[in-house]
Structure 1
């Protein structure tokens, strides 16, 4: 499309023509353009481009409808007469009408008690709106809050749907504030009521999508009532959404993603709240377009930030809060609500309210960025008398030449700091450019697909070569890059980079510094993913100890350390302590970040994994569905954060829940999202593909299962992830079921080699893997080799955990199988008796492990080998 300042286009004419062009039948559009754009090729080209763009779901699809808001489209339809009965209500008078129907004031007519209501009556010929009308009624039925107008009744009047809502006598929030000249504090109290209503809707998984002053009424008592959930969105993965092409909204209050036809989330309501707050305090809307054509107005909305609210208040004058009261913090709070990208706004309505509370207490607001000078200014405002006295003392002590020298010293120090910051910025710029130059295909010998892990690894090497003279910056960037390596799946690389960062930052700031604590926590996470639970527990505990000693035991960083400790401890069978850490982390993050913040949701996800290990399947399913709904509400249905809960729900559905239909629906979606966000090689993709392969195997679709197992193997990155073991074990069991012993043996051997390489020979998991490898060797006919592997594994396990530890059950059982295959039944029986004794110490004789070992013992005593 043309630039919006193209002088060759008559933009006002384009604005007039485009709605008519859209409404013209396709076969007549060329003639329309011939008639109206003769000798104006640029105008025609722009209209054709807009027409092509209208095939997408954008605001231009709906421009005629947007322009038609408020137009009476009810010609020929007679309103209901006074005293007409609608259900239990008697019509008093019509108080509004529109394209969908009319709104009437009504009174209760059944004599039970006096009550007024606002009845919304749908036109009989407005069938296209019936679905939305019914959705509004269903949504209102779920909401019960003092600041939301209540649904009272509903039904059919003839063939016309209706619903009765609480009748609110009041004025819009802006009219109420401006007409009364309310002070700032009173306006913010009203806005807090609005936020409370919207937060309640969000907690009920409902997005309003049309927040504006006319939908927010204030009665004479100062109580806010939120109205009109007619286009609200119910965030429920089990409910089909309304078609996007029927979606309406008010453009003055619409978020950029609504205008562009993008995903609507709770962040959309937060944007609208920012517009309402701007209008309530500043006296006008953030944008003033006048006669600007709609297409140009939309372009400004999508590309520019609105002017500060305080500037609008200066222009408006009467009705607005004085500009000096809005400058600074409140300008920053509103600006954060109005950020163009949803993820840059407040994460929750509660977070917005908390920042307004900080402003009221004259504490630093999170919306505003700034260093120590900003915090100092706020401190001075809170303690004016002390600051004034201190200023007088300073002036007395530092008068004359001494003050001048002091100021000169400060100026030199600031200049030096600025120079150092400029040098550091230049160094970082050079580093980043060197990394990106490495990706330039013109500078490389051949085309190469370079995954993120490889690019970040090259960044680490470039960092080590270029920033050796600035240890503080080097350590900080190593910390950041190590975390990135971990997050993209390069676990070995991330662990090594973070270990180096920890060494450097500890040497520079001290072993008990907060800088070291941050890196300790990141290192612990990488080690946990690598299966190094002891190291992860040690480093996460050290991090938490540092935050506790620094009197920040409930900070975000402390909560992050608790999350890791919970995950590690559950792996180490210390479940009570694990759940205690997990619950504390969720509480801390909910308080600091809000219930729907990504980190809070991640902590809940880890808690679900702990519930999985505790075999609380129903709680797991409910928790996963709750997490999925929260993410979809805040980040949309395409969020990368949906991958893990969707994959886990698919795994639970094909396994413990035995709901293959749910697994068939969930796993393909997880696979598609993973490919979109992580490409064709990632441990996340390998997990989802493996689960889907198992589903096909259990459905008896063995060819499909084989294909998906192959895809899972190809998706595994070369990064030492513990996921490799899961993929290989499932694939090996599939091969065993197919009688493909050689392929199964090859996979189990890779599991053992991987465990020995990543965990070492002092870890019991290494030798459990050896026992299972020996089991497959025996089935392949390599009985002598199998026995050697398994006896060595049993000896190593007994040395590491003790001969009486339950872990030895697997080693005794698999060795017994091998001995029975060799027809050495007495030796096999001896191993099984030891196995049964260990099981009996922990479980009853009805436990599946005990019954399986007992069944094999009976076969062995009869001189029969194990069943394949």
Structure 2
């Protein structure tokens, strides 16, 4: 005793020194037995030493590997250091293997994170750290601190940035805030919800304790530190294969018995730790104190220590809270002790079960942890109804009333029994008609059976209104399930007429009518009817009516796109879920999961549906139609995530269940066939998909007829299949057939009609009928706004699609207004990171590019790409779309390396997705060709442009703008290569195409016409060139912003024409105006083009010093831009040489001509006029220097230029007359 007492008086410093000494004896060894022996001896002698030794052991992984493995070149970071994109502000704390810092983003000082850096880089520590990252990445819950970023320092130390939570540890928060018991329990339920989310994602936290639960100022808890969390094995429900070291890492005071005993962990292990926290929340104390740090003491205490009931413990330091004991005794005692049961079989089997009992307690309902005795149930009833039972003097009267009521209930039960028997008899009479022994007629469909029953009902049960009412309501629900919504409403209205207007039955039928109105798509009618129904009750409205009201209102808001309000309504319904019909309770979970999907929480949505599956199996058993339908929903969500394997599994399971439940002609198979077809369609098995769709359509025709919404659904998906195959005429035909059926079934104002209008508009756009597409998009938008209002996802989709069509037609301002409005509404509906936001940002970026706002376009495309990567991963076709658009902008801005990388990634994804021939692939190939042309690789660009045109000609009609675009691009590269006749033909065809299909001021039209004028100039037809270029400028000035890139290009070509014709003053005036408009555009190519023309103007004005400085800068900028030999650099050197020729600097001329040839030769044929001009000027320079070969080189090159361009071409005339080609300046001393 004396030794232990003396040991306990060691200072902290002495204790740490002793611990380090003991640890030193373990260096080089890794035997667990030796470690535990030393730990136990140290614990007996000096518990404080043992405590520090335990921390040190955990830090160096001595239990599993030599400590020397941890002596890596770790870096201890300090304030101001940078870690990835974050800068450290201060150290928040440290754990067993790392430090935690407060950090901010270097580009956003208001964005704070908690940044954890591993200070031990052993393989096991790194593996554990990475596992924590992976676990955090899989969890997305408002009460779990989420992962933001991760990386590795140059020293090899991994780091992770997590949500920074400002608050207090749970125990501190409870100590400093006087929370009543009810508030504490509600706080605990939020912790349960967070842990439940982790378990649903197959994660065991393994270290639940108050210091790992932070409570923020608003009272919201955050679950932290998944450092020793482990994955659940989905097959066994237990801990996956983890190292033994992880098993031993724990916080003993909160560890479960199985954790200390070295057994496999399950979710039930976290329930125990949560039970300890719950006990502490009720009492301010832990259920036991562990007097020692050795594993044997820890294990013995957790397995054997007596646990007092919370009601007997109380708050030693806060006597006022001991008043809680009357509340905690009983139900809360039972809940706490069940959570702390040492045998896992006696413990709550899930966090949800623990949370459910607390909810039941809060509502005054019987909990699951207690036997359901009559006395207990009566006591709970009495607590909920104190006032009614408080009048002791009326006990005899109450007993009498109870007796009378009991008798009335017996009579009601007897009436109900008789009603049920008569209902059964009626149904049997209906189904006798399909008995082969009773009928010899053809097969009878389900709808025909129901129709026969509907005809019989008025006359066969006219004297039994209760039976009639029950049957009318039941048949109304069946008709809704069969897609006959109007008949459903009619039958339910008849049932409503037969019951007292304010009876419970009347309200039940009203709610069914409202559901049928929603099924028919009459959302506004359903909303008005719900408001009217609820308003019939004076305040306070009964809870069961409120429960159904919030469920139906949430469903209505979901369908009209008011997702945030729907979320609130469903939350209110969830609080009253016990009062919903059993089927509606499950429907509530389904609707909440679909809402989460729409709001961009796919993992949570799927987790909710999987949880619903578990509940359905508990409610109905393993085989039930509701389970099969839920599997179909799950399959569609997995399909939307391109998780084909999982979708296949769920479709197979649904099919197997349908086979057990129904014959092959049951209506359930129709939806199954369509879902299976969708899977095959996404797998690009088009024939198989269409065969499956036809099976669904054939079954619909057999059971119903062709004038049924399910048949129209089949026609619509057939249209989608044909559209995916670029069979646009066939797609249009199917869409029109579908719309005809929908109009017949639903009328003109219905979501399905709007859907068909949108699909038709998209098909028209694909066929390049832009005006027809715009008209249909406007009709779809108008219909959706009429149905839902503007703040709905479908209206947003219509705005987006309409804006895209307007942009293609050249109505850029209206397109921008629509995109901006759609973006604002989407952020209001979905938040900031939803994939729909990515779509609009992508399209808005494309529009800004068309408007020459390159910086704005780049910003929007990068935002879109980040959102899409977060949602879809790296290999989705939408990633390819964003990469392609990003590359186009980067190319315009001169960032060729990043642009080419992005384009090649896009092409890889498109080929993997669509195969070798598809419109998207044709666009990508053309864009890569344009990039290679800019880089000067003309032969490769020519080949790709030819591929793109051939692909488009195989897909589109001859007059489609897409073909005009490909003709323009091919004509341009042929012009660059000097093949002017073919170029002229292609550019004329492209201009004619655009004149017929696009508005005159469309940017493409302006650019194509400009290139046609440039081609005329290259052929020496200067008058025609000026006429055509002026026409392009006139079109651009009438419809485009003055600083639009395509208008600036047209102006630059007119400047060059002025210079060729010696009109220097006119050229200078137009050039100055163009340079003013170009400032700040970010377009590197047009900037350098204008600067080059400025140098030529200065040369013609004989301001040689300024001209030389400009040429030097232009050449340097071109070389930086392209990073390799390029014809544009060659042309600049040729012009620079001409300037030096004027100054009689012949040696410098030869040097620049050599550099010009080096750059021109990489892409241009030897016969190209630029290379011939190099030789002509080289010959003249050699002659002036008196060197041999000059005359012959000049004469031969001049002859070749004359044969190529014609003897009357201005270049031939200038070369022959000893002028300087494009500069049109005689050299000094020339005749």
What TM-score do the two structures reach when normalised by structure 1?
0.43
Greater percentage in helix: 2
What TM-score do the two structures reach when normalised by structure 2?
0.32
**Larger Cα-atom Rg:** 2
Q: Which of 1 and 2 has higher RCO (CA within 8 Å, sep 6+)?
A: 1
